[in-house]
Amino acid sequence: MMSGRPMVDAVVVGGGPAGLTAAIALAGAGVATALVAGRPRTTDNRTTALLMGSVTALKTLGVWQRCQANAAPLRVMRIVDDTGRLLRAPEVRFEADEIGLQAFGYNIENRYLIAAMLELACEIAALEVIREDATRVTVGADAVTITLESGETVVARLAVGADGRRSACRKAAGIETERWSYPQSALTLTLRHSRPHHDISTEFHRPRGPFTLVPLPGQRSSLVFVSEPDEAARLKALPDVELAAAIEQHAHSILGKIEVEPERGLFRLAVERARTLGAHRVALVGEAGHVIPPIGAQGLNLGLRDAATIGELVATAHRQGHDPGANDLTSRYAQMRRADVTGRTLAVDLLNRSLLSEFLPLQGARGLGLTLLQHIGPLRRAAMREGVAPAAAQPRLMRGEAL
C-alpha cells in the first residue's frame, strides 16, 4: 500500500508522558519523528511526583516552563509507620536542604503535564503529531510499519514503543514480559484541606499498603490510598462527605478538614517487566517496558530516563549518519537501562512485600532499615542523593545538557 508519507527516522507510538517526552527529545534534536499519539481519551486524574533529574530534563526540553505554575515543591518527605505492629519503625524524615537542594522535586497533576508536553510537541517542526491509534505494528528487516486507524501507514527506521501496559510494539518485537500482581489496588484523588501542607509529603505505611499525601499548589494535595481491592472499590463508591471523613481519619487529621474533588481513579497494583527494552528496530519506554507499584514515586521518573536515554542515543546516531534502528543501538539502549529498571523494581517490590508480610523477621528488617536511615546521617544523605539522581543512570537531559 502507498503510505503517502515520507519515511521517518523514528516513530513513537503512544502519547502518554513517556512517549511525548521521547518524541520531543528526538524531534528537538532534529531527528525526523512521527508521534502516533492515539485518540484523546479520558483525562488521567493522577499526579506525578517528578524528582529533580526529571524536572531538569523537562526544563531542558522546554516543557517545564509551560506547566511549572501548576506544580508544588517537595521539600520534605516523611515515612510514618502506621502498621500498629509489634516491630514498628521510627518516623523517617528526608529534608531536601540536608543535601543542599531546595526541593527533591515537584508534584504536578498529569493533565497539566501532558497538556504542556502536547502543546510543545505540536510546535516542533521535525515532529508530526498524529491523533490516531495504531492498529498494527509490523517489524521488518529495514523498517517498522505502523498502520493507523485510517488505513494509512507510517514507516520508520526505529519504533519507540510508549504504548503502555498492553504495548502492541512490544508484542510485534516478540518481547516477553514477566508479571506478578499484589492483592492491592490504589485509589487516587485530589483533595482540599484546611491546614497547610508546608511542602511536606507524607507516606503512612499501613498493613495493606501505603497511604500517601503529596502537596499540590495552595491547600490541595493528591492522595494515593493503597488497600485491598474490595476495600479500595468500596471507598471509591462512597459519597464525598463519607470518603472525606475516612481520609481525614487515616491521615490522623494532619491536614485538618478534608474536602474531596470530583474525579477518582482505581489502579490494580502489579509489577510487569519486559525481558528487554530493546530488540531489532524497537525500543520500549515507560510502562510498555516496566510497571511498578506507586510507592516512592518511581514509575514515570524511570520512564522519563528511558525517554532521555533513547533520545540521546538516536540523536548521536543521527549526527553520525547511522541507522537509528540498528541492532547495536537498540541493544545498547536495553543494556544502559537494565540496572536502573531492575534495581528500582526490586526495591519497590521488597518494600511493598515487607508491608504486606506477616513474617516477623521481614517486618523487623524493614523497621531496622528505616531506623538506620533515620539515625545515620551519611546513610540517609546517600539514600536521598541516589533517590534524586541515580548514580547508574543520569542521561544528558537529566544533567541539563541539550541533545
Ligand X SMILES: Cc1cc2nc3c(=O)[nH]c(=O)nc-3n(C[C@H](O)[C@H](O)[C@H](O)COP(=O)(O)OP(=O)(O)OC[C@H]3O[C@@H](n4cnc5c(N)ncnc54)[C@H](O)[C@@H]3O)c2cc1C
Q: Which of residues 345-364 bind ligand X (CB under 6 A)?
A: none
Does residue 18 bind ligand X (CB under 6 A)? yes
- At residue 158, what are phi and psi to the nearest 5 degrees? -135, 135
How far, in whole angstroms, is CA 234 from its chain's centroid?
26
Q: What grid cell was written down for 278?
A: 530493546
Q: How far is the CB of 370 from ligand X (least distance, A)?
A: 20
Burial class (CB in 10 A: 0-12, 13-18, 19+), 394: middle
Does residue 267 bind ligand X (CB under 6 A)? yes
Contact between residue 198 and residue 57 where contact means Cβ atoms under 8 Å apart: no
Q: How far is the CB of 164 from ligand X (least distance, A)?
A: 3
Does residue 35 bind ligand X (CB under 6 A)? no
Does residue 12 bind ligand X (CB under 6 A)? no
Q: Which stretch binds ligand X (CB under 6 A): 89-97, 174-182, 252-260, 296-304?
A: 296-304
Q: Which stretch binds ligand X (CB under 6 A): 34-42, 65-73, 334-342, 352-360?
A: 34-42
- Contacting residue, 297, 315, 351, 393, with ligand X by CB under 6 A: 297
Q: Which of residues 119-158 bind ligand X (CB under 6 A)?
A: 133-134
DSSP code at position 89? P
Does residue 112 bind ligand X (CB under 6 A)? no
Instruction: Compute the distance between CA of residue 403 and CA of residue 397 in angstroms, rounded to an integer.
Output: 7
Q: Which stretch binds ligand X (CB under 6 A): 271-279, 292-300, 342-350, 354-362?
A: 292-300
Sequence-separated (6 or more) residues with CB below 8 Å from residue 358: none
Q: How far is the CB of 82 from ligand X (least distance, A)?
A: 19
Q: How far is the CB of 40 from ligand X (least distance, A)?
A: 9
Does residue 221 bind ligand X (CB under 6 A)? no
Does residue 53 bind ligand X (CB under 6 A)? no
With respect to ligand X, which residue has the nearer C-beta, 85 or 385? Answer: 385
Instruction: Compute the distance between CA of residue 289 and CA of residue 274 in angstroms, rounded to an integer.
Output: 5
Question: Could you tell me which of 165, 344, 354 has the C-alpha nearest to residue 268?
Answer: 165
Does residue 32 bind ligand X (CB under 6 A)? no
Instruction: Compute the distance between CA of residue 51 and CA of residue 222 in angstroms, rounded to an integer.
Output: 16
Contact between residue 98 and residue 382 where contact means Cβ atoms under 8 Å apart: no
With respect to ligand X, which residue has the nearer C-beta, 18 or 29? Answer: 18
Contact between residue 127 and residue 121 where contact means Cβ atoms under 8 Å apart: yes
Alpha helices in 15-74 (DSSP H): 17-28, 52-61
> Helices 299-319 and 17-28 meet at what angle, rounded to 10?
20
Q: Which stretch binds ligand X (CB under 6 A): 64-72, 162-170, 229-237, 355-363?
A: 162-170
- Contacting residue, 8, 11, 29, 36, with ligand X by CB under 6 A: 36
How many residues sit in the footprint of ligand X (CB under 6 A)?
A: 32
Give the strand pairing for 47-51 and 33-36: unpaired
With respect to ligand X, which residue has the nearer C-beta, 133 or 248? Answer: 133
With respect to ligand X, which residue has the nearer C-beta, 109 or 367? Answer: 109
Sequence-separated (6 or more) residues with CB below 8 Å from residue 359: none
Strands, sheet with 105-109, edge to edge from the N-terminal-most edge strand:
47-51, 105-109, 72-74
- Contacting residue, 117, 118, 154, 168, with ligand X by CB under 6 A: 168
Instruction: Compute the distance between CA of residue 12 and CA of residue 14 in angstroms, rounded to an integer.
Output: 6
With respect to ligand X, which residue has the nearer C-beta, 16 or 367? Answer: 16
Does residue 224 bind ligand X (CB under 6 A)? yes
- Binding region for ligand X (CB under 6 A): 13-19, 36, 38, 41, 46, 48-49, 133-134, 162-164, 168, 186, 188, 224, 267, 286-287, 294, 297-301, 303
